[in-house]
Amino acid sequence: MRISCPHCGERDHGEFAYYGDATKRRPDGASDVETFFEYVYPRDNPAGSHRELWYHVGGCRAWIVVNRDTRTHEIFSVEVARKRGEPSQGAGAGAP
């Protein structure tokens, strides 16, 4: 599988680290437990199109959103996460 990074072009997926479901949005810190539970644990886990976060750790270090078919590994689109208004996932190295 090769992923086309918007900055670096087509690269082996071994250069990227996977973070998972990109439809999840970190709730406001004051949210209740149920809201945080929903954010952290349940997943749609679709067989088919899946929007997911990858980190180009072996390249430009951008976070990207990849839309990929989980049945065939075919990639439909790749975008820079920030452009899509992806929310911050928290602080610290390795977090988007």
Partner 1 sequence: MRYSVFSVLSQALKGNTGWKPVWREPEPKAEYDVVIVGGGGHGLSTAYYLAKNHGITNVAVVERGYIGSGNIGRNTTIIRSNYGEHGNIPFYEWSLKLWEGLEQDINYNAMVSQRGVLNLYHSDAQRDAAARRGNTMRMHGVDAELLDVAGVRKLVPNLNFDNARFPVYGGLFQPRGGTVRHDAVAWGYARAADSRGVDILQHCEVTGIRVENGHALGVETAKGFIKAKKIGLACAGRSSQVAAMAGLRLPIESHVLQAFVSEGVKPLIDTVITFGAGHFYISQSDKGGLVFGGNIDGYNSYAQRGNLPVIEEVMEEAVAMFPSIGRLRVLRHWGGLMDMSMDGSPIIDKTPIDNLYLNCGWCIGGFKATPASGWCFAHLIAQDAPHEVASAMRLDRFATGRLINESGTGAQPNLH
Query: C-alpha dihedral over 39, 14, 58, 92, to 10 degrees?
Result: 20
H helix or E strand, kind and range, residue 33: helix 33-40
* Residue that has been written with the tokens 């996460």 in this structure: 81
18 near partner 1, rule: CB under 8 A: yes
Cα–Cα distance, 21 to 37 (Å, whole number): 15
Question: Within positions 57 to 96, which residues make up the interface with partner 1, using CB under 8 A?
Answer: 68, 70-73
Of residues 42 through 61, those in contact with Zn ion by CB under 5 A are 56, 59-60
Q: Which is nearer to partner 1, 43 or 82 (CB)?
A: 43
CA distance 71 to 21: 15
Total residues contacting partner 1 by CB under 8 A comes to 25
* 3 binds Zn ion, rule: CB under 5 A: no
Q: According to CB under 8 A, which one of 6, 9, 20, 87 is a site residue for partner 1? A: 20
**Separation of alpha carbons 29 and 14, rounded Å:** 34
Give the residues lining the site for partner 1 (CB under 8 A): 1, 12-14, 18, 20-21, 33-34, 37, 40-45, 47, 50, 52, 54, 68, 70-73
